[in-house]
Amino acid sequence: MGEVLSQESLRLRIRSLHEDRKKVVFTNGCFDLLHVGHIRYLKAARELGDCLVVAINSDNSVRALKGDERPIIPEGQRAEVLAALSFVDYVIIFEELDPSRLISLLQPDVLVKGGDWAPGQIAGKEQVEASGGRVLSLPLVEGVGTSAIISSIVNRYAKSSRNSSKDPKKS
């Protein structure tokens, strides 16, 4: 089971891992509604090293990136759920829209993002490669995504609401 850590605590842990010649993998994202795409992605990321760090956007940065209706799940709960996964070692919440500063501070060996990101677009790429690390895009699970799940829920409940208002037995 992983831990949710502060920036300084995580920096010290990673420094210790590097001293022990362990390979640190870093990824980041909103991870708003955890789904099978996230699970497969995080498992694949963990297989690339000895330790997986998941940096999640704060509630404020999710709103700035995704709009006022997001996040659905508050940052503390998102962090706790991710830390409970056996293949996630550390979780950190970051405020910025872009994790480059955090990546520079932590200096991971491998930086990964989902396949919807071309390697040249991945924030932190330059910092990781400059220190001899690798930057990879991992494949996505087709047809699975947080926005699609939210749309599906909204559509289903909108239909259900319209149907129940027409049914005299439910009035």
Q: What would the pLDDT profile of 78-136 be if each residue is shown by its tens digit?
A: 999 999 999 999 999 999 999 999 999 999 999 999 988 887 889 999 999 999 999 99
Least confident interval from 1-10, 47-56, 137-146: 137-146
| Residue 26 falls inside a structural domain | yes
Q: State how far the alpha carbon of 147 is from the alpha carbons of 33, 37, 67, in Å.
A: 9, 12, 12
Question: Residue 110 belongs to a domain with what CATH number?
Answer: 3.40.50.620
What is the pLDDT, as a whole number, of residue 104?
96
CA proximity to 74, closest of 34, 28, 39, 32: 32
| Residue 165 falls inside a structural domain | no
Written as six digits, the tokens of 151 are 């749309």
State how many domains the chain has: 1
| Residue 93 falls inside a structural domain | yes
| Residue 146 falls inside a structural domain | no
Contacts of 139 (CB under 8 A, 6+ apart): 44, 115
pTM over 0.85: yes
Q: What is the spatial distance between Cα 13 and Cα 16, in angstroms, rounded to a whole number?
A: 5
| Residue 155 falls inside a structural domain | no
The domain in which residue 10 lies consists of: 3-140
| Residue 102 falls inside a structural domain | yes
| Residue 149 falls inside a structural domain | no
Residue with tokens 């994202």: 29
| Residue 152 falls inside a structural domain | no
Q: What is the mean pLDDT of residues 60-64?
A: 96
What phi and psi values does residue 34 have, to the nearest 5 degrees?
Answer: -65, 130
